[in-house]
Amino acid sequence: MKIAVDAMGGDFAPQAIVEGVIMAASSLPADTQLVLVGRQDIIKELFQKHGFESSAVEIVHADDVIEMSEHPTKALSQKPNSSIGVGFKLLKEKAVDIFCSAGNTGAMHVGALFSIRAIEGIIRPAIAGFVPQVNGKHAIMLDIGANADCKPDVLSQFGEIGSLFARHTLHIDHPRVALMNIGEEEQKGSVIAQAAYQLLKENKRIQFVGNIEGKDLFTDKADVIVTDGFTGNILFKLGESLYGILKERGIEDEFIARTNYESIGGSPIIGVNGNVMIAHGISSPLAIKNMISWARQQVEANAYIHIAQALA
Amino acid sequence: MKIAVDAMGGDFAPQAIVEGVIMAASSLPADTQLVLVGRQDIIKELFQKHGFESSAVEIVHADDVIEMSEHPTKALSQKPNSSIGVGFKLLKEKAVDIFCSAGNTGAMHVGALFSIRAIEGIIRPAIAGFVPQVNGKHAIMLDIGANADCKPDVLSQFGEIGSLFARHTLHIDHPRVALMNIGEEEQKGSVIAQAAYQLLKENKRIQFVGNIEGKDLFTDKADVIVTDGFTGNILFKLGESLYGILKERGIEDEFIARTNYESIGGSPIIGVNGNVMIAHGISSPLAIKNMISWARQQVEANAYIHIAQALA
């Protein structure tokens, strides 16, 4: 298994990324190879600084870097030799099994659509966030930011692809799919949420358990939480903020620790022809290390193949 | 000052409501009179049970009750002698200064629109939630559920009426108004959020500080948080859920305690010609007691008069 990591993407790149890869390398199973994509000279210098040498990590050189603030589509076409551009080239050629980056989220999303492309039949791929549950499990919530505006059919499909992802990657046999809404009754919510409810209810390929509310985000009412990328992004970022707020107040707790973005480290793009993981811009070495461990699970499951089969 | 409280509204009414009023009565300033609206026989029986007698509390009889699950508009026209119907009649006649209820939220919203009506110039009144901030302050967020779908001009007006409410009720001279969004940059967000940003930016009557994100909900980035009733409701309910989740995990903290719905007890409707407060359906006696203390502040400020003047 080959896991490609963008060495240049993220607020603290390349240092934090390279350090995270070094941390991960020591505990990798023998079948796993890490591929750092980025400026070879800089990466080698960082390896040297840390006295790191391992046959488990290779470097694929990329001249350019897409900055966090750049326009995704423009940047990708102007910088084909950026680390994101090269990473997706490797993924498309199946030279690697997954591409992960803490860089420009928009460029990662557009890069996936331009290179490995959306699975046929997918209206809109989504970014899925792992949401820790108080009982120790994780739910996945989609979309958490790729599509700020979602039509009802898009939301219904999120239920389907989220369900397939949860089944194969989180090993939940019959994932409970719920719609994030402002009341439990089916006539509650925005015009779009009401219409999405009907489509989800009629969708025979999922186990739809109805609406959940904001208070249910962490309480294991669902395995797959369907929402638009606007609501999902705001909820996800609020959830992630709890760790820092409570840490500053001297509170340590196992559940709250799991709301820390570092404990997962990344969010997959679901609905494209391959494995892609997006990490937080502020990613620390620990976040990158944990992302690599989730990336392994994602490659072992290859949920995208099951999604493509289900939609064929 | 006369504060009317619906004795019959809420999951634990009338017991919890009457107990809350009894709790509040003992610490009321001399100028404040409580008016319990509901079935006189039942309320008197509860007073007797608690050995309560006070000239600070009077009863206004109402024959009927609107149940939590009833259709708001239908219920209000079929039950003019319900506690909600009678409460709004008192408010409209200015026999009381504020009407508070933990009953059917929809019926409270529709009741306000039918009786005291929206202030002229108000496109859509909103329910405003008090959001505790880590530094001890409160922000107000609107809308938290009255309007699931909001057009940009409605959101811009929320900024204005929220700002006036914060100035007069929370005594913040120049309230910072922010738009809840999925990124800080002005081109971020849903189509509606992007358009709302422009209107808020151009609105000379408010101090617009730009977008905030989910992670900023509790961190005092704004005094007034503008959002649609769909996003706002989900965020608000997630916020309120933290207290219960952490209490169960044995965590006690002053900030988390303030996320408990009981610590405020109610949410005002802003944009109507009078003072209205909606309490949580599950309201406990403590919640009702605290709601009454916020109701006093609301009456002292009479922000609705300032809003009407500003829009005239």
CB-CB neighbors (< 8 A) of A189 in chain B:
148, 230
> Residue A214 and residue B236: Cβ atoms within 8 Å?
yes
Cis peptide before A228 (omega within 30 of 0): no
When scoring A151, A238, A258 by the number of chain B Cβ atoms within 10 A, the one with the most, hence best to mutate, is A238
pLDDT at A5: 98
Reported CATH class of domain A1-120+271-302 = alpha beta
pLDDT at B85: 97
Concatenate the DSSP letters of all residues of B255-312 into one string.
HHHHHSGGGT--EEEESBSSEEEE--TT--HHHHHHHHHHHHHHHHH-HHHHHHHHH-
pLDDT at B210: 98
CA atoms within 13 A on the CB side of A202: 10
pLDDT at B299: 97
Say yes or no: domain B1-122+271-312 is CATH 3.30.470.10.
Answer: no
pLDDT at B140: 98
Nearest-CB residue to B215 (from A190, A219, A240): A240
CB-CB neighbors (< 8 A) of B237 in chain A:
213-215
Q: Beta strand B138-142 with B126-132: parallel, antiparallel or unpaired?
A: antiparallel
> Residue A229 and residue B180: Cβ atoms within 8 Å?
no
Q: Which fold has domain B124-261?
A: Isopropylmalate Dehydrogenase (3.40.718)
| Token pair in block for residue A6 | 């963008």
> Residue A253 and residue B255: Cβ atoms within 8 Å?
no
> Residue B182 and residue A219: Cβ atoms within 8 Å?
no
Distance of alpha carbon B292 from alpha carbon B5, whole angstroms: 8
> What is the helix (H) or strand (E) element at residue A194, kind and residue range?
helix A191-202
CB-CB neighbors (< 8 A) of A213 in chain B:
233-234, 237
Residues near B80 by beta carbon (within 8 Å), at least 6 away in sequence: none
Nearest-CB residue to A233 (from B214, B228, B248): B214
Q: What is the mean pLDDT of residues A101-114?
A: 96
Length of chain A: 312
Smallest Cα distance from B170 to chain A, Å: 24
Smallest Cα distance from B195 to chain A, Å: 13
CB-CB neighbors (< 8 A) of B188 in chain A:
148
pLDDT at B293: 94
pLDDT at B135: 96
> Residue B190 and residue A255: Cβ atoms within 8 Å?
no
Please state, for a pLDDT cut of 90, what percent of chain A lies above it: 97
> What is the helix (H) or strand (E) element at residue A82, kind and residue range?
none
Nearest-CB residue to B145 (from A148, A182, A231): A182
What average pLDDT is seen over chain B? 96
Distance of alpha carbon A86 from alpha carbon A64, whole angstroms: 9
Q: What is the mean pLDDT of residues A60-70?
A: 95
Nearest-CB residue to B233 (from A145, A182, A256): A182
Residue B102 identity (one-letter amino acid): A
pLDDT at B188: 93
Q: If interface means Cβ-Cβ distance under 8 Å, which residues of chain A face chain B?
A: 134, 145, 148-149, 180-182, 188-191, 193, 213-219, 228-231, 233-242, 245-246, 248-249, 251, 253, 255-256
Whole-complex ipTM: 0.95
Domain borders along chain B are: 1-122+271-312, 124-261
Q: What is the mean pLDDT of residues B2-19?
A: 97
Which residue in chain B has the smallest CA separation from A236? B214
pLDDT at A254: 95
CB-CB neighbors (< 8 A) of A67 in chain B:
none
CATH for A123-262 (3.30.470.10, 3.40.50.10110, 3.40.718.10, 3.30.70.1060): 3.40.718.10
Smallest Cα distance from B193 to chain A, Å: 9
pLDDT at A102: 97
Number of Cβ pairs < 8 A linking chain A and chain B: 117
Concatenate the DSSP letters of all residues of B85-151 into one string.
HHHHHHHHTTSSSEEEESS-HHHHHHHHHHTT-BPTT-S--EEEEEEE-TTS-EEEEE-SSS-SS--
Instruction: Quick: pLDDT tens for B222-265.
Output: 999 999 999 999 999 999 999 999 999 999 999 999 999 999 99
> Residue A214 and residue B237: Cβ atoms within 8 Å?
yes
Q: What is the mean pLDDT of residues A266-270?
A: 97
Q: What is the mean pLDDT of residues A31-49?
A: 97
What average pLDDT is seen over chain A? 96
Nearest-CB residue to B148 (from A134, A182, A251): A182
pLDDT range class, residue B164, cuts 50, 70, 90: very high
Angle at A228 between CA B209 and CA B207, to 5 degrees: 10
Nearest-CB residue to A230 (from B182, B229, B255): B182
